[in-house]
C-alpha cells in the first residue's frame, strides 16, 4: 500500500472522528432517581442497570398489595407490604447484582444491577493545516468541568508548540496543558478538564505561523 493511500485512509478515519466524536460520551447515570412500577403482578422494568449512588423507587400502581424484598444474602432491602399507591425507595451504595421478589406473590421477581459510573468525556478530532493557517473545526465548544479529549493530526507541515491559551499568541497556557506537537499522519492526544468558562485559543504562532482555533467553554 502506497504512503499516499495509507495517509488518505488515515485522514478518512480522522474526519470520521471529527464528525462523530464531537459530543459527550454518555454517562451511565448521575446517581439520580430511577422508577419501577408494580402493576399487573409484575415489576416494570423487571431488570434495571444503575450507577452506584442511585436511588430506585418502586410504586404500587396496582390494586393488590405487594412487597419489594431482597433475595440476596445478606438481605439488602425489604419494603414490607405496599398497598395501592404506596412507594418504597432504596439507595444503592455498592456495586453488584441485587435480585428481589414480592413475598406475597413469589413468582414476581426483579433485578437491580449496580455498576460503577462511567466517566464523561467530550471527544473531538482536530485537524491542523499549515498551508491554510486553520484548524478544522475552527471552533470547539465544550462544557466546564467535563474532561476533554482532543485527537490531533495535521494535513500538512509540522506544528510544534501548539498551545491552549487564554490569549491568541499562546503566552498564557490554561488547564494544565503543556505545549504539544502535531505532525501529518500521526495522532497526538491531549486531555484536560476546563475549570472555568470563557473563550480560549488553540494556537501556534511561532516562526510566522498564524494558526488559531477557538475553544469555547460553557458553564
Tens digit of pLDDT at every position of the chain (219 positions): 444 444 444 454 554 544 444 443 333 334 478 999 999 899 999 999 999 899 999 999 999 999 999 999 999 999 999 999 999 999 999 999 999 999 999 999 999 999 987 778 899 999 999 889 899 999 999 999 999 999 999 999 888 899 999 999 999 999 999 999 999 989 999 999 999 999 999 998 877 778 899 999 999
Q: 97 and 134, same structural domain?
A: no
Q: 92 and 56, same structural domain?
A: yes
Say what the pLDDT of residue 3 is: 43
Say what the pLDDT of residue 19 is: 41
Q: 87 and 189, same structural domain?
A: no
Q: 127 and 97, same structural domain?
A: no
Domain termination residue (choose one: 78, 97, 115): 115
Q: 129 and 77, same structural domain?
A: no
Q: How far is CA 122 from CA 26, 64, 190, in A?
A: 9, 47, 12
Task: DSSP letter for 40, please.
Answer: T
- The full DSSP string for 157-211 is S-EEEEEEESSTTS-SB-TTPPPEEE-BT--EEEEE---S-EEEEEEE-GGG--E
Q: 208 and 134, same structural domain?
A: yes
Say what the pLDDT of residue 189 is: 95
First to last CA, the chain: 47
Distance CA 152, CA 30 (A): 30
Q: Which of 92, 90, 31, 35 is nearest to 60 (CA)?
A: 35
Q: How far is CA 15 from CA 11, 65, 130, 178, 187, in A?
A: 6, 57, 17, 25, 13
Q: 138 and 206, same structural domain?
A: yes
- Cis peptide leading into 167, omega within 30 of 0? no
Distance CA 141, CA 132 (A): 22
Tens of pLDDT, residue by residue over 132-176, are: 989 999 999 999 999 999 999 999 988 889 999 999 999 999 999
Q: 99 and 61, same structural domain?
A: yes
What is the extent of the structural domain holding 41?
A: 33-115
Q: 149 and 91, same structural domain?
A: no
Say what the pLDDT of residue 163 is: 95
Q: 149 and 80, same structural domain?
A: no
Strands 188-192 and 211-218: unpaired
Distance CA 147, CA 87 (A): 37
Q: 19 and 40, same structural domain?
A: no
Say what the pLDDT of residue 209 is: 79
Whole-model pTM above 0.85? Answer: no
- Give how many domains the chain has, as a whole number: 2
The CATH number for 154's domain is: 2.60.40.420
Q: 206 and 127, same structural domain?
A: yes
Amino acid at each position: 500500500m502506497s504512503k499516499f493511500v495509507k495517509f488518505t485512509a488515515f485522514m478518512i478515519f480522522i474526519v470520521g472522528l471529527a464528525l462523530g466524536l464531537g459530543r459527550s460520551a454518555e454517562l451511565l447515570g448521575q446517581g439520580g432517581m430511577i422508577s419501577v412500577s408494580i402493576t399487573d403482578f409484575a415489576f416494570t422494568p423487571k431488570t434495571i442497570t444503575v450507577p452506584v449512588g442511585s436511588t430506585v423507587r418502586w410504586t404500587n400502581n396496582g390494586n393488590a398489595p405487594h412487597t419489594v424484598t431482597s433475595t440476596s444474602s445478606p438481605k439488602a432491602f425489604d419494603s414490607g407490604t405496599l398497598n395501592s399507591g404506596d412507594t418504597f425507595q432504596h439507595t444503592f451504595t455498592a456495586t453488584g447484582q441485587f435480585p428481589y421478589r414480592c413475598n406475597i406473590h413469589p413468582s414476581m421477581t426483579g433485578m437491580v444491577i449496580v455498576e460503577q459510573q462511567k466517566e464523561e468525556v467530550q471527544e473531538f478530532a482536530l485537524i491542523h493545516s499549515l498551508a491554510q493557517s486553520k484548524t478544522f473545526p475552527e471552533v470547539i465548544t465544550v462544557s466546564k468541568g467535563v474532561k476533554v479529549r482532543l485527537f490531533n493530526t495535521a494535513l500538512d507541515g509540522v506544528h510544534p508548540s501548539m498551545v491552549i491559551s487564554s490569549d491568541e499568541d499562546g503566552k498564557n497556557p490554561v488547564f494544565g496543558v503543556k505545549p504539544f506537537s502535531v505532525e501529518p499522519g500521526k495522532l497526538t492526544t491531549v486531555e484536560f478538564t476546563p475549570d472555568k468558562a470563557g473563550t480560549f485559543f488553540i494556537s501556534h504562532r511561532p516562526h510566522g505561523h498564524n494558526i488559531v482555533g477557538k475553544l469555547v467553554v460553557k458553564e
